[in-house]
Amino acid sequence: MKVKWNNFKLLLFWLTVLTLFDFKVDARKRLKIGLHKNPEPIEENVMNELKTLSIKHKLNVDNETSSKSHTRDSGSKLAKLENLYNTEYYTTIKIGSPPQHLKVLIDTGSANLWVLSSKCPDTVKPCANQVKYNSSASTTYKAINKAFTIEYGADSNGGNIALYGFESQETVNIAGYSIENQVFSEITDVPETAFLKSKFVGIFGLGFSSISINGITPPFYNLWTQGLIKKPVFSIYLNRNGTSSVSGGELILGGIDSGLYSGCLTYVPVSTAGYWQFTMPSAKVNDFNFCENCEAILDVGTSLIVVPENVLSTINQILGVLNPKDNTNVFLVNCSRISELPDIIFTIARREFRLKSSDYVLRYGDTCVSGFSSMKGNTLLILGEIFLGVYYTVYDIVYKLIALAPAVH
C-alpha cells in the first residue's frame, strides 16, 4: 500500500516546516499561525509533506463540551480534536490502568493503533522527551510480544522506511468509551526524518480492517463488537481556523451530529473496502475534467489534494502557478489573484461539491501555496484536509458507506 505511505509522508512534510513558523509569529498580533515573508520555508514544509505522501502506509478528550451536543445521535460520543496549522488533527486517548494520556493522530487511511513505547530509548530522537506508553505502570497490560513492523515504502535511496516494535494488549479509552483487550503496537524504533517534528506520539487508524497490519482488529471495530456504540458509524468535523488545542474539530463515535452540517447528507458506496474509497463521476476546474469515473479516497491524515501526475500540469496552468517546472511539487500562486481563481467542482453521487480558491490555496503571510500536488505512481484522487475541512463526512464500516454534506463553521 504505497499510497498510504505517500500520504503520511505528505503530512509529516508539513509538520517539519510549519513548526518553524512558531518562531516567526508576529508578536504584535499574537497570530496562531506564524507569518513568513520568505517562501523557502514553506516550500521546505510542502516538500516534507510530499515526502510523507511518498511513504505513507497503506496504509482525547473525555469531556463533551460541544455547543451542539443536543443535535448529536443518542448513544454517540465525541473526541475533541486539536488542530496544528490546519495540517494535523489529533486527539487524546487513555491507555492502561491507571490511565496514561497519549496524543494520537486520527487517520482514515490506516487501520492500526500504535504509540511510542517507553522501551524506545532517548537515543532515538523522535522518542526523546516524549510522553510514551509504559506497560510496567499499568495493571491491565497483557504481553503479546509479537513483532510488529510497518514498512512505509522506499526512501530516496531506494531503501525501506519503517517503524518497528511489538504487539501488546490493553484497555484503551477514547471519548469515554473503554475498549477492553485492544491489541495495539508499541513502537521502539522510529525513522527520525518522519517523526522528529511530530506533535503526536501515535496514530489511531480508522480504515477498514482489511488494511490492518498483522490482522489486528482496529479499535473502531472493537467499539462496535463490544457494544459500546449503537451504530457502526463515525463522523469527522474539521475546523480550518489554524492552530487550536480547544476547537480543532470533532471525531464523533457511534453516530453523527446534524448541527455540524447543512442540508442533506449525500451517500456514496465504498468501491473498495480498505481506504474509504469510492468512484467519483467527475472533478472539474474550468472546462478541464481531471477525473472521469476515477477512484477517490477521503483521507484525514493527508493535508492536500493529491491528483494523478498526468493531470497536475494542466491544473497548474489553469491556476497560473508561479513555478510550474519546480521539481519539488511545491507550487506557488500569486496571492493577489486568489479571488480570481476558479472553483473546483467535484461530482459525487450526482451532487456537486465545490471548493473555492480560498479553500484550496494555503496562505502564509505574503506566500501562497496551491493545495494541489501529485506523487509518482499514484493514480488515486486523494481528498485530504483541504477538502475535508469544507465538508462534514460520515463513515459506516458495516454498510460500507460514505456520506458528505457542507460543514457549518
Catalytic sites, residue numbers? 107, 299
Q: Nearest 10 degrees: CA dihedral of 16, 21, 24, 30?
A: -150
Helix runs in 151-285, H state only: 192-195, 219-225
Burial 239-277 (b: 16+ CB within 10 A, else e): bbeebeeeebbbbbbbbbbbebbeeebbebebbeebbbb
State the distance between the two ends of the chain, measured CA to CA, in whole angstroms. Answer: 34
**Nearest CA-CA partner of 300 in 10, 50, 34, 69:** 10
C-alpha cell at 210: 482489511
Give the Cα separation of 52 and 307 in Å (integer): 15
Secondary structure class of 352 (helix, strand, coil): strand
CB 269 within 8 A of CB 295: no
CB 285 within 8 A of CB 356: no
Give the Cα separation of 397 and 212 in Å (integer): 14
> What is the residue type of 66?
S
Give the Cα separation of 106 and 115 in Å (integer): 12
Burial 121-142 (b: 16+ CB within 10 A, else e): eeebebbeebebbebeebebbe
* Pairing of the two strands 367-370 and 332-333: antiparallel
Which residues, 6+ apart, have CB-to-CB distance to 167 below 8 Å?
A: 144, 145, 146, 147, 148, 183, 184, 185, 186, 214, 216
